């Protein structure tokens, strides 16, 4: 393969950064995804990039790969500013990336996937030889002629790595590489990465929200929050609790108080006392550096607000395996009547699957769901609904509403039998129910016969909420209920959820927004890699403790 | 759409369905349709002129062959009945979100089953006809149901499997009429034997109301109209139809709401097959043909019926006038050849008309989508989460 990069690397002393970013900014409309970011990535080092959802990690990497154009700022290879206008530029610069979601084609074999995108004649033997060579060099055993669909998640990851390493990148970027890997597979991956930086003097950027990974595998760490670099340090000089605080950042207890007073978190208000970028190892405001012991955090379910009352919703050892990946792993959680439990975590840690499971769209491979003490036969269509579970699904367009059916029809979707008589749907009864619900839930629609598609997001969400609450559920699951809603609609949704809880409904709020969880929940369960890493009362939730749990520490 | 359902079996197909199914729309669609029909007619007359015919003479011939007198009307209605049956079935399956396009084969299977019952079972009186029709519906329903089964067990695409099963059905019928022990006609003396069955006994024929030379309404048409009305009521007025529509519009939401998606989808496919099978039985038992099972007896009725449903945009009641129009084109088309116009031009005219009816709603919807900035009207509010995703 190319030797230009190799020579360049040999000539470059290890101290010179492989890649330098200066003042890189990118806005999407009103949202600043990247805010004046400075970043140095050195040869021979693994550089950890830590941050929550929406911290701007992916945007930054997309800029480096030429997938997104920066608004301002400089990217330098060594000391020379370079242009990264498209992915070809990035390849020419020796920047390679292993994406979080595999970009392999299932129906093709390993070698076919590896050479995908090459030009010229297809030489099967040469391609296989190359795959074998790369796999031997890095200790990534793989059969080049195997079909990708038969491979495990770990093996697919290997193929992605081989695909990337074959191009001999000088900077290798890995986006949440362990999210689908087992413990052993992750360990193996980090061994390979060590080799890549130590023996070959490449630079690696490791994007992750898992603290254990960052502290164990990286040499330097940069924490991003809301597009800004908020912390930067050699990994050896910092601790997981400190990183957790920087990652979560906000003074969470203050938020909880605000929520208790009925104040809503204001979006865009910068957390007070944000230290300037590139500060090194300086303790952030307010939080003290105490270590969280596992005993404290893995609190008993229902030991919080709802203790003494039988839980209305009881999830027991739920395990879900999709395409060989364990998405939920023995997840257990109780929600008592009248309480709001927030399930918080970084996106992609199994929350969506839990939502799908509670929507009846996914079946667990083991474990049970109990509602008011009775196990639900999940394989029966509509069983959860009949057992008294209402749900606001995460993606209302995919399973919450039928966009091309009318408001009235959507409102009676789950209770069509109740508005029918003698085998026919009664339009009169359906409209009566719809009128009542529309009034009760302030649904603004051109007419009850208008398709739900014509409604605003907030009103669509009210349709879902009205339908679910009208069935008189004992449990209400709200998955990302305010995603994409405006401030007024968010406020309305929060009030409805609080009202439901005060009427004795057990509310499970699944959210990736910490503000939302802090504003509503009395107990917070944190999910990481498909398991509950801890449950703690909202009053005891500090940035540090949440950050640790979100990062999978103290599991 | 940014929030397309990930689990939906075929995104493109569903989007296509979304564009083709009725949706409250303004004046644009009817106006565009009118323009398109005029354009199609203009193009048709241009084609007729170019091939050396006269447009006015052609229209005259079409009219004479299909509507000029009661005999012509009778022939038109004989074609209308099977077309309508096929179309109603296509409406039901398309409403459920699975595209059955194998009606041509299902028609043959229906005819085969009816012929076997009519010729091989010793049943007398009116019961024979009833059992023939039932057998046709059951056999073709099961035939279409196979595609649903293939989809569930092995993930075979329903569109592809229903279509390919048509060719299997053609071979099965060809086999049946070539095998003396199955359905081939009896040898009389030393006369050569053709690949066709014996004619049906009189008790296996569909009767008509009315006498030649007056208007004759065949029993098949009554059956077809009844099926259309029944399907329309079932789809728009019953909880079953509500679930069917929900399944077609958003299978995930339907599943979430407790609909047994696999069972209902399979049933819809089987119903559409059963109605196509009935069309086959009607072709066999009504005076439109020779009352014998013949390999070519489906006469593209299956494909045309599908077009009827397409033009009617999956509404069974709207399919009635459309089926009548197609019946007119069929019976008039035969007459047209007499005027020197190549008869295949009728197919071209038919195709142009189908395009004129089908294209405008799609074009209007696409234009609307473009105007709202590349997103369908309802997806505007998603701009915000989309931006968030970009950062994450």
Write down the domain spans for chain B.
27-53+344-380, 69-184+195-340
Tokens coding B232: 């329309």
pLDDT, residue B225, reads 98
Is B347 at the interface with chain A, CB within 8 A? Answer: no
H helix intervals, chain B: 11-20, 28-50, 55-66, 70-95, 103-120, 127-154, 158-176, 219-237, 239-249, 251-256, 261-285, 301-311, 316-336, 344-371, 383-391
Q: Are B14 and B353 in contact (CB under 8 A)?
A: no
Q: Which residues of A touch B257 (CB under 8 A)?
A: 382, 385, 413-414
- Tell me which long-range contacts B322-327 makes (C-beta under 8 A, separation of at least 24): B322/B87, B322/B357, B323/B80, B323/B83, B323/B84, B323/B87, B323/B224, B324/B76, B324/B77, B324/B80, B325/B353, B326/B79, B326/B80, B326/B83, B326/B350, B327/B66, B327/B76, B327/B77, B327/B78, B327/B79, B327/B80, B327/B83
Dist. CA A507–CA B75, nearest whole Å: 66
Dist. CA B362–CA B2, nearest whole Å: 20
Best residue of B250, B373, B386 to probe chain A, by most A CBs closer than 10 Å:
B250
Q: Is the pLDDT of residue A503 over 90?
A: yes
Q: What is the pLDDT of residues A142-171, one digit of tens each?
A: 899 999 888 877 788 889 889 888 888 999
**Burial of A56 (C-beta count, 10 Å sphere; 0-12/13-18/19+):** buried
> Cβ–Cβ of B256/A393 closer than 8 Å?
yes
Most confident among A200-204, A221-225, B164-168 (mean pLDDT): B164-168
DSSP annotation of A43: T
Q: Which residues of A touch B382 (CB under 8 A)?
A: 457, 484
Q: Which residues of B touch A27 (CB under 8 A)?
A: none
pLDDT, residue B374, reads 43
Strand A220-225 relative to strand A228-234, pairing: antiparallel
Q: What is the pLDDT of residues B254-274, one digit of tens each?
A: 999 999 999 999 999 999 999
From A54, A395, A455, residue closest to B391, measured CB to CB: A54
Q: Are B99 and B93 in contact (CB under 8 A)?
A: yes
> Cβ–Cβ of A398/B238 closer than 8 Å?
no
Distance between B243 CA and the closest CA of chain A, angstroms? 8
Q: Which residues of B touch A359 (CB under 8 A)?
A: 256
Strand A389-392 relative to strand A475-479, pairing: parallel
> Cβ–Cβ of B23/A28 closer than 8 Å?
no
Q: Which residues of A touch B369 (CB under 8 A)?
A: none
Best residue of B24, B378, B379, B382 to probe chain A, by most A CBs closer than 10 Å:
B378
pLDDT, residue B230, reads 97
**Quick one: closest CA in A to B236, which residue?**
A425
Tokens coding A414: 């789950």
Q: What is the pLDDT of residues A345-384, one digit of tens each?
A: 887 788 889 999 999 999 999 999 999 989 999 988 889 9
pLDDT, residue A505, reads 94
What does the mean pLDDT of chain A come to?
A: 82
CA nearest A401: which of A439, B12, A409?
A409
Q: What is the pLDDT of residues A106-150, one digit of tens each?
A: 889 999 999 887 888 888 999 999 999 998 888 888 899 999 888
User: Measured between alpha carbons, how far is residue B151 from residues A70, A289, B109 in Å?
Assistant: 46, 58, 20
Q: What percent of chain B has pLDDT over 90?
A: 59
> Cβ–Cβ of B23/A451 closer than 8 Å?
yes
Res. A496 pLDDT band, cuts 50 70 90:
very high
> Cβ–Cβ of B378/A453 closer than 8 Å?
yes
**Quick one: closest CA in B to A360, which residue?**
B256
Q: Domains in chain A, please, with CATH?
A: 4-238 (3.40.50.300), 294-388+473-550 (3.40.50.300), 404-470 (no CATH)
Dist. CA A258–CA A520, nearest whole Å: 10
CA nearest B97: which of A402, A420, A396, A455?
A402
CA nearest A104: which of A162, A57, A61, A58?
A162
Q: Are A523 and A297 in contact (CB under 8 A)?
A: no
Q: Which residues of A touch B243 (CB under 8 A)?
A: 416
Best residue of A423, A445, A471, A484 to probe chain B, by most B CBs closer than 10 Å:
A484
Best residue of B258, B264, B368 to probe chain A, by most A CBs closer than 10 Å:
B258
CATH, domain B69-184+195-340, list 1.10.3470, 1.10.150, 2.60.40, 1.20.120? 1.10.3470
Q: Are A438 and A469 in contact (CB under 8 A)?
A: no
Is B259 at the interface with chain A, CB within 8 A? Answer: yes
CA nearest A209: which of A340, A323, A347, A111?
A347
Q: Which of A83-87, A222-226, A289-293, A461-465 has the least mean pLDDT?
A: A289-293
**Quick one: closest CA in A to B239, which residue?**
A425
**Burial of A21 (C-beta count, 10 Å sphere; 0-12/13-18/19+):** buried
Q: What is the pLDDT of residues A393-431, one digit of tens each?
A: 988 888 899 999 999 999 999 989 889 988 899 999 999
> Cβ–Cβ of B256/A399 closer than 8 Å?
yes
Most confident among A100-104, A182-186, B58-62 (mean pLDDT): B58-62
**Quick one: closest CA in B to A400, which residue?**
B253
Distance between B81 CA and the closest CA of chain A, angstroms? 28
Cβ-Cβ contacts under 8 Å for B336 (sequence gap 6 or more): B58, B61, B62, B65, B343, B345, B346
Res. A250 pLDDT band, cuts 50 70 90:
low
Dist. CA A300–CA B33, nearest whole Å: 66
> Cβ–Cβ of A425/B242 closer than 8 Å?
yes
**Quick one: closest CA in A to B3, which residue?**
A397
Res. B167 pLDDT band, cuts 50 70 90:
very high
In which residue are the tokens 């057990």 written?
A506
pLDDT, residue B372, reads 60
Could you tell me if the ipTM is greater than 0.85? no
pLDDT, residue B197, reads 93
Q: Is the pLDDT of residue B88 over 90?
A: yes
Between B312 and B335, name the one with better pLDDT: B312
pLDDT, residue A281, reads 38
> Cβ–Cβ of B252/A399 closer than 8 Å?
yes
Q: Which of A453-467, B47-61, B373-387 has the least mean pLDDT?
A: B373-387
Q: Which residues of A touch B391 (CB under 8 A)?
A: 28, 31, 33, 54-56, 58-59, 227
Q: What is the pLDDT of residues B360-369, one digit of tens each?
A: 888 887 887 7
Q: Are A43 and A12 in contact (CB under 8 A)?
A: yes
Dist. CA B145–CA B124, nearest whole Å: 31
> Cβ–Cβ of B385/A54 closer than 8 Å?
no
DSSP annotation of B208: E
* Mean pLDDT in residue range A171-179: 85
pLDDT, residue A298, reads 37
């Amino acid at each position: 393969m190319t030797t230009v990069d190799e020579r360049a690397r040999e000539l470059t002393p290890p101290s010179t950064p492989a890649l330098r970013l200066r003042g890189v900014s990118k806005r999407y409309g009103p949202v600043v995804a990247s805010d004046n970011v400075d970043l140095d990535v050195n040869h021979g080092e693994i550089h950890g990039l830590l941050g929550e959802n929406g911290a701007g990690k992916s945007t930054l990497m997309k800029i480096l790969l030429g997938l997104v154009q920066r608004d301002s700022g400089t990217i330098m290879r060594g000391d020379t500013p370079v242009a990264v206008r498209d992915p070809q530029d990035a390849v020419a610069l020796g920047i390679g990336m292993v994406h979080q979601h595999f970009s392999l084609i299932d129906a093709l074999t390993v070698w076919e996937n590896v050479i995908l995108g090459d030009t010229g004649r297809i030489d099967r033997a040469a391609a296989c030889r190359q795959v074998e060579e790369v796999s031997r060099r890095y200790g990534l055993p793989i059969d080049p002629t195997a079909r990708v669909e038969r491979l495990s998640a770990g093996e697919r990851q290997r193929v992605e790595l081989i695909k990337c390493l074959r191009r001999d990148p000088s900077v290798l970027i890995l986006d949440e590489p362990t999210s689908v890997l087992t413990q052993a597979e992750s360990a193996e991956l980090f061994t390979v990465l060590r080799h890549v930086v130590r023996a070959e003097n490449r630079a690696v950027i490791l994007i992750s929200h898992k603290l254990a990974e960052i502290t164990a595998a990286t040499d330097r760490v940069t924490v991003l929050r809301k597009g800004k670099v908020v912390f930067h340090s050699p990994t050896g000089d910092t601790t997981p609790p400190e990183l957790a605080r920087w990652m979560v950042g906000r003074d969470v207890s203050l938020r909880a108080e605000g929520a208790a007073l009925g104040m809503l978190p204001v979006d865009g208000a910068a957390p007070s006392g944000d230290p300037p970028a590139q500060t090194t190892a300086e303790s952030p405001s307010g939080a003290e550096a105490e270590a969280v012991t596992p005993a404290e955090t893995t609190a008993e379910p229902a030991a919080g607000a709802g203790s003494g009352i039988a839980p209305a919703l009881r999830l027991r050892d739920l395990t879900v395996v999709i395409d060989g990946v364990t998405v939920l792993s023995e997840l257990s959680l109780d929600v008592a009547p009248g309480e709001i439990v927030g399930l918080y975590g970084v996106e992609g840690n199994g929350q969506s699957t839990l939502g799908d499971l509670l929507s009846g769209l996914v079946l667990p491979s083991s474990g049970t769901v109990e509602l008011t003490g009775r196990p639900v036969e999940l394989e029966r269509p509509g069983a959860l609904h009949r057992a008294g579970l209402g749900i606001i699904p995460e993606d209302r367009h995919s399973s919450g509403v039928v966009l091309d059916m009318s408001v009235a029809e959507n409102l009676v979707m789950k209770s069509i039998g109740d508005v029918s008589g003698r085998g026919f749907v009664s339009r009169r009864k359906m409209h009566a129910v719809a009128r009542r619900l529309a009034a009760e839930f302030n649904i603004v629609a051109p007419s009850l016969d208008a398709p739900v598609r014509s409604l605003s997001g907030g009103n669509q969400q009210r349709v879902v909420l009205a339908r679910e609450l009208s069935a008189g559920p004992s449990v209400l699951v709200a998955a990302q209920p305010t995603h994409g809603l405006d401030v007024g609609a968010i406020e309305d949704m929060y009030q409805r959820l609080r009202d439901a809880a005060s009427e004795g409904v057990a509310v499970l709020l699944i959210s990736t927004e910490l503000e939302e969880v802090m504003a509503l929940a009395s107990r917070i369960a944190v999910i990481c890699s498909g398991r509950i890493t801890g449950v703690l009362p909202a009053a005891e939730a500090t940035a540090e403790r949440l950050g640790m749990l979100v990062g999978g520490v103290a599991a | 759409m940014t929030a397309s359902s990930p689990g939906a079996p075929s995104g493109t197909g569903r989007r296509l369905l979304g564009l083709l199914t009725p949706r409250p729309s303004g004046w644009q669609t009817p106006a565009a349709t009118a323009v398109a029909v005029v354009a199609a007619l203009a193009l048709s007359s241009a084609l007729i002129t170019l091939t050396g015919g006269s447009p006015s003479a052609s229209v005259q011939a079409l009219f004479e062959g299909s509507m000029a007198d009661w005999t012509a009307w009778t022939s038109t209605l004989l074609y209308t009945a099977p077309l309508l049956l096929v179309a109603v079935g296509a409406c039901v399956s398309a409403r459920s979100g699975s595209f059955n396009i194998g009606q041509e084969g299902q028609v043959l299977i229906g005819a085969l089953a009816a012929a076997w019952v009519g010729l091989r079972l010793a049943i007398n009186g009116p019961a024979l006809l009833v059992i023939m029709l039932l057998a046709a519906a059951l056999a073709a329903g099961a035939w279409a149901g196979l595609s649903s089964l293939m989809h569930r067990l092995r993930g075979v695409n329903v569109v592809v499997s229903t279509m390919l099963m048509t060719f299997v059905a053609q071979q099965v019928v060809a086999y049946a009429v070539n095998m003396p022990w199955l359905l081939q006609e009896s040898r009389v003396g030393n006369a050569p034997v053709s690949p066709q069955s014996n004619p049906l006994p009189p008790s296996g024929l569909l009767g008509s109301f009315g006498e030649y030379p007056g208007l004759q309404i065949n029993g098949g048409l009554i059956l077809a109209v009844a099926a259309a009305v029944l399907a329309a009521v079932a789809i728009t007025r019953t909880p079953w139809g509500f679930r069917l529509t929900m399944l077609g519009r958003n299978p995930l939401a339907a599943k979430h709401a407790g609909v047994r998606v696999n069972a209902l989808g399979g049933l819809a496919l089987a119903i559409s097959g059963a109605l196509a099978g009935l069309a086959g039985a009607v072709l066999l038992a009504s005076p439109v043909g020779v009352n014998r099972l013949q390999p070519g007896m489906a006469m593209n009725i299956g494909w045309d019926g599908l077009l009827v449903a397409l033009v009617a945009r999956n509404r069974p009641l709207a399919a009635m006038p459309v089926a009548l129009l197609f019946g007119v084109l069929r019976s008039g088309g035969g007459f047209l050849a007499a005027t020197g116009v190549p008869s295949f031009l009728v197919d071209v005219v038919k195709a142009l008309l189908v395009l004129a009816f089908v294209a405008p709603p799609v074009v209007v919807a696409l234009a609307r989508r473009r105007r709202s900035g590349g997103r369908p009207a309802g997806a505007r509010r998603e701009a915000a989460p989309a931006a968030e995703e970009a950062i994450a």
